[in-house]
Amino acid sequence: MRLVFIGPPGAGKGTQAEYLIKKYHPAHLSTGDMLRAARDAQTEVGLKANEYMSRGELVPDQIIIDIIAERLNADDCAQGFLLDGFPRTIAQAEALDEMLTKNGTPLDIVLELKVPEEELFTRLAGRGRADDKPEAIRTRLEGYRTQTSPLLDYYGTKGLLVTIDGLGTVEEIFDRIQTVLDKIA
């Protein structure tokens, strides 16, 4: 199964991704996790990316596209992958399409986890990550609205988008996801 997981910061993507991986075993490709690991290891890319991350801004497309292009070629992606936090811009989605078309491995589905914005701010402010300061949260929500949400139309037009209601308990939300994925698995 090859899937993309889209949702605003604070929608609960990380938690649902964990459940999903336990059940369906795709390779987990979280660009946020990769960037935090690169930052902690103080690599050149990690330090550069951190300038953007700490402000809540998106890291430039080319940095992310290079990271994903390399990661998608790893052996564990052959049996499927979950893209978590990528793509986040139309340019990234187009680059991804090009990579997957070249490999003959198109996406099966794009899941959108939908949560109202008022709820997101409350959730994020309670989380305590370095980029969960109010100013950075506002920037991240704004980035989602302006740069990432156009992907919903992009994948909708391709017939790949399925929207999941992201309100409820973790188990309720995962049940909704399973119902959708069991049909295509």
Smaller CB distance to ligand AMP: residue 2 or 88? 88
- Nearest 5°: phi and psi at 6? -115, 140
- Residue 183 CB, shortest distance to ligand AMP, in Å, is 27
In whole angstroms, what is the distance from residue 106 CA to residue 102 CA? 9
Contact 61, 95 (CB under 8 A): yes
The H-assigned helical ranges of the chain are 13-24, 31-40, 44-53, 61-72, 90-103, 117-125, 134-143, 150-157, 170-184
> DSSP class of residue 146?
I
Smaller CB distance to ligand AMP: residue 56 or 166? 56
Smaller CB distance to ligand AMP: residue 9 or 166? 9
- Residue 30 CB, shortest distance to ligand AMP, in Å, is 6
- Residue 83 CB, shortest distance to ligand AMP, in Å, is 9
Residues that bind ligand AMP (CB under 6 A): 9, 31-32, 35, 52-53, 56-59, 64, 85-88, 92, 131, 140
Q: Which residues, 6 or more positions from 63, have their beta carbon under 8 angstroms from its beta carbon?
A: 45, 48, 49
In whole angstroms, what is the distance from residue 50 CA to residue 158 CA? 33
Residue type, 135: E
Residue type, 6: I
- Residue 9 CB, shortest distance to ligand AMP, in Å, is 5
- Residue 150 CB, shortest distance to ligand AMP, in Å, is 14
Smaller CB distance to ligand AMP: residue 86 or 183? 86
Smaller CB distance to ligand AMP: residue 26 or 32? 32
Tokens 């929608």 appear where? 11
Query: Closest-CB residue for ligand AMP?
Result: 32
